[in-house]
Amino acid sequence: MSVTFDELLDVKGAKCPMPLVKSRKAVNNLGVGQVLKVVATDRGSVADFQGWAKTAKNIELVAQEEGADNGDTVYVHYLRRTK
Amino acid sequence: MTDNCQRLEARVHTPLLQGSNLVTFAVTDKIILAGQPEPEDWVRLAQQGFSLVVNVRSDPQRAAAQADKAHAEGLAYQHLTVPAYELETAHIQAFRDALAAAAEGKVLVHCRTASRVALMWMLHRMVNDGWNQQQAEAELQQAGYSDDDMDVFRYCTEDFLERASMTDLILS
């Protein structure tokens, strides 16, 4: 899947809850409607971002995908700022 | 043996829940921070002196299933849903209230990897107990958290304090 995005946040190696906190900060710097692509290595980030999208008032989880980066599994999340 | 090795040994070789692989960190004699318990851990918790389990993971279905298992073993259970991406003072006060529900016995406070609960415990010490950040960090390091873990907690604490300070400014 290829999703168009406006900003990229690399949080590979970051432990919970750092990917969420850094993503929240990055989303706040987006314009409404823009998309943030987050690349993480924390497996738990998949559920964490789903949980965030359910409770946050200003984001939509557009897509999630799994990939590989230098032998590591990476978890990619696309977040759109909605307000 | 270096300090780092001692901390590693504490984390890997000193299971606080006997017979279990549960990741655990004792911050006090009574409060144990932990990762996700396995299904077979509930009976162990009851047998080994725990009276209360506090879950700060967000999934309500998992929490409901866990509550059933905990209650079946005679354990009290609290599910505290907090946004890890944006902790606020009210969440830390709710954390204190959840811990206050403990009767006699030990309290297991868990998330998925024992990281989020450590951050909450650190903020609890600072917000509710009046500790300074250095004291709160030292307690977690003493419990066995690594330097990498501490970097995460410092970053997230700084974020918390920035937003708390902005809230104070708005309310004042």
Domain count along chain B: 1
Q: Of the candidates A17, A25, A47, which has its C-beta nearest B115's C-beta?
A: A17
Residue B9 belongs to what domain range?
3-171
Indicate the CATH number of A7-81 among 3.90.1150.10, 3.30.110.40, 3.40.50.2020, 3.40.190.10: 3.30.110.40
Q: Is B91 on the interface with A (CB under 8 A)?
A: no
Q: Please, what sign has the CA dihedral across residues B150, B155, B156, B158?
A: positive
- Averaged pLDDT of chain B: 88
For residue A1, is pLDDT > 70?
no
Which positions in chain B touch A17 (Cβ < 8 Å)? Answer: 84-85, 115-116, 119, 152, 156
pLDDT tens for residues B146-172?
999 999 999 999 999 998 877 665 555
Compute the average pLDDT of residues B105-120: 95
Which positions in chain B touch A20 (Cβ < 8 Å)? Answer: 84-85
For residue A34, is pLDDT > 90?
yes
For chain A, domain boundaries:
7-81
ipTM for the predicted complex: 0.86
Closest CA to B22 of B47, B6, B8, B41: B41
Structure confidence at residue B4 (pLDDT): 43
CATH code assigned at B85: 3.90.190.10
Describe chain B by its helix, strand, coil percentages, rounded to 5.
Answer: 55, 15, 30
CB B77 within 8 A of CB B53: yes
